[in-house]
Chains A and B, each alone.
Chain A
Amino acid sequence: MHRTLTAFTLAFTLAGAGQASAQALQAAAALQGTFVDLSGTWANRLHEDFLERAPGPQIGDYSGLPINDEARAVADAYQVSMQNMPERQCILYTTQYIVMGPQNLRIQQELDPISGAVVAYHMSGTVDRAVHDVFMDGRPHPSPNAPHSAGGFSTGKWEGRLLTVTTTHLKSGLVWRNGVPHSDQATMVEHYARHDNMLTVTMILTDPVYWEEPFIRSATFEIDANTRVLPEPCEPQVEIPRSPGEVPHYLPGANPYLAEFPKLYNLPAEAARGGAKTTYPEYGKALRSTYKAPDKCTVNCCAGTTLAMMNNAQAMCRADDAPATPPAATPPANPPTTTPPARRE
């Protein structure tokens, strides 16, 4: 307690007296964060990135992702049914999935019993997302040779009213559920900014193996004590009998579904393949001279604000648009040709 007060007083004094040194600024920055409470249950809002985070991106849709050819090769070979192999069903998404997935978020702070200072934040895992522990006590990151995990190793510091978290030691994982990967060399910087009852989490992922440029994503949550955070344990079971050693995949150049996404939206094939240059305004300007939007939206057109509401919203649109008696659909004999059902959220 005394230590905290002393640090506060010292920082305040130096800064207030106009004698701010770098050290005093740092101390003042850290102390401002003590006024921000991140703890609670935060409800995800799917008001952006809806397709990637809720129903799941379409096969071959890498739009807006600054990935390189290596990443494309991995994603092109990916078959989502790989995920229902019993040995893969319970592999966790890495912590970047806080801003990439549809789930809610629960943040708990661990306090020093004597000083009351926050020594760690524990950000909930879910059925398929790793727990995110953020150490605030100044401990160093472990040796580069230390084991990697889905949660990685994270340390945080307050910069004013922003919590900045640095994560290393991640295992490789999926960024998008259509197979876009990050490697175990990826590092992540997150910024947590609370504004009233909203929490904006910005994630910047840097990966020398699969990404041409740092990948930025941000997601905003609203505090909601009544929202659900799904902690159900994962229980693997055989969903599709397979021969031992069989791993669903496509060989290079053999994925037959890659052309469907750009065709559906009248996009040039190159645009769907991502890459850093496709994320800047000049790319859009160049595209506009040849692009013509399809006449009407046909897939995933309707509003969705939470995962639970998504299906209702889709139903609302269908009820409004569809004929009274929709024609009976013939179940496809092969894997679906547009948005495949995502097994995992």
Chain B
Amino acid sequence: MQTLGRVLRAGAVLGMAAVMFSTVAAQGRGGAAPQTPAAPAAPAPPPTGKAGAPVDLTGTWVSVITEDWRWRMVTPPKGDYASLPINMDAKKAADTWDPAKDEAAGEACKGYGAPGLMRQPTRLRITWQDDNTMKVEADAGTQTRLLHFGDWKAPGGAGTLQGDTTASWETGARGRGGAPAPPPMFGNLKTVTKNLKPGYLRKNGVPYSDKATLTEYWDLLRQPNGEQWIVITTVVEDPTYLARTWITSLNFKKEANGSKWDPSPCTAR
């Protein structure tokens, strides 16, 4: 056993050395100078969001409402703020909620901004719009969120329902003893959304302001029976209306196809 261990270790170290050598050589960094000087190779560009994806989030996903059913599946009564860490300003604003006014003002989608949208009973269709943009469509309210990877810069301007979202993969991969990190085979998506137009955290008028920030961590969970779930840990910060961060987690199950996709307009009630 000892001998086998030594052999394995030796083989592994040799293998690692080979990989490190090839990596270093490919990147043209470190080590002894080559015999024949050549123009230093340009560092490899970071992979695009699509190429660097450690997990595949694309497909059609359905929200399974086994939590907060009464607040999500139907619109709760006015004045129901249970579980929301709101402050008194939010309470006052929510107490003036009038869905008829929202409808008349063309604001029926206030419950479908990014922080509220993801809690709706909805299906999500996730695709790559391009190599650095993930598109998340929701059939509830017929909304589209764009998640931008890389060095994307928000265009600025007035806030929007879905805001400006930057995205990155969190792989946690790191080398050991100075070795380079292994390729990302596991990880989650992190998104941060700002520049939101004011809307509702809950459809009964509990507000968030234009200063709100939505941070989401998207984990892909694979089950022994083959099912796949995305669980999104969701953090809303809002200095205007929240007494502290609001933290929830949302569960979406992957569907075999998009046959149940059923776009519907926003409703204020």
Interface residues of A (CB under 8 A from B): 2-3, 5-6, 8-17, 20, 25, 28-29, 32, 35-36, 45-51, 63-66, 159-162, 164, 166, 189, 191, 193, 195, 198, 200, 202, 204, 214-220, 222, 265, 267, 271, 278-285, 287-288, 291, 293-298, 300-305, 317, 320-321
Q: Is the CB of B78 within 8 A of A297?
A: yes
Nearest chain A residue, comparing its CB with the CB of B252:
A216
Stretch of B27-35, B41-49, B160-168, B179-187 that contacts chain A: B179-187
List residues of chain A with CB within 8 A of the CB of B88: 320
CA distance A288 to B267 in the complex (A): 10
Q: Is the CB of B8 within 8 A of A284?
A: no
Q: Is the CB of B68 within 8 A of A48?
A: yes
Q: A160-B186, A195-B233, A293-B204 are in contact. Are A64 and B83 (CB under 8 A)?
A: no
Nearest chain B residue, comparing its CB with the CB of A292:
B269
Q: Is the CB of A159 within 8 A of B222?
A: yes
Q: Give chain B nearest CB distance to A118 CB in angstroms.
A: 16
Q: A36-B172, A160-B187 are in contact. Are A302 and B74 (CB under 8 A)?
A: no
Tell me the dominant secondary structure on chain A's binding face. mixed
Q: Is the CB of B9 within 8 A of A193?
A: no
List residues of chain A with CB within 8 A of the CB of B174: 35
CA distance A37 to B179 in the complex (A): 21
CA distance A288 to B203 in the complex (A): 13
Which of B16, B73, B264 has most chain A Cβ within 10 Å? B73
CA distance A193 to B216 in the complex (A): 13
CA distance A51 to B76 in the complex (A): 14
> What are 5 sample pairs from A and B whose C-beta atoms fall under 8 A apart?
A6-B8, A191-B219, A198-B233, A265-B76, A281-B65
Q: Give chain A nearest CB distance to B7 CB in angstroms.
A: 10
Q: Is the CB of A301 within 8 A of B221?
A: no
List residues of chain B with CB within 8 A of the CB of A3: 5
Q: Give chain B nearest CB distance to A219 CB in angstroms.
A: 7
Contact of A280 among B79, B121, B243, B250 (CB under 8 A): B121
CA distance A28 to B182 in the complex (A): 9
CA distance A328 to B83 in the complex (A): 28
List residues of chain A with CB within 8 A of the CB of B85: 47, 303, 305
- Give 1 or 0 for each of B12-38: 1 = CB within 8 Å of chain A CB: 110110110001000000000000000
Q: Is the CB of A281 within 8 A of B122?
A: yes
User: Does B257 touch A at the CB level, under 8 Å?
Assistant: no
Q: Is the CB of A193 within 8 A of B188?
A: yes
Q: Is the CB of B121 within 8 A of A281?
A: yes
Q: Is the CB of A193 within 8 A of B82?
A: no
Contact of B79 among A48, A49, A217, A297 (CB under 8 A): A297
CA distance A193 to B251 in the complex (A): 14
Contact of B233 among A20, A35, A217, A220 (CB under 8 A): A220
List residues of chain A with CB within 8 A of the CB of B100: none
Report, nearest first, the 5 A-B pairs whose CB atoms are least far apart: A160-B186, A64-B69, A50-B83, A13-B15, A281-B121
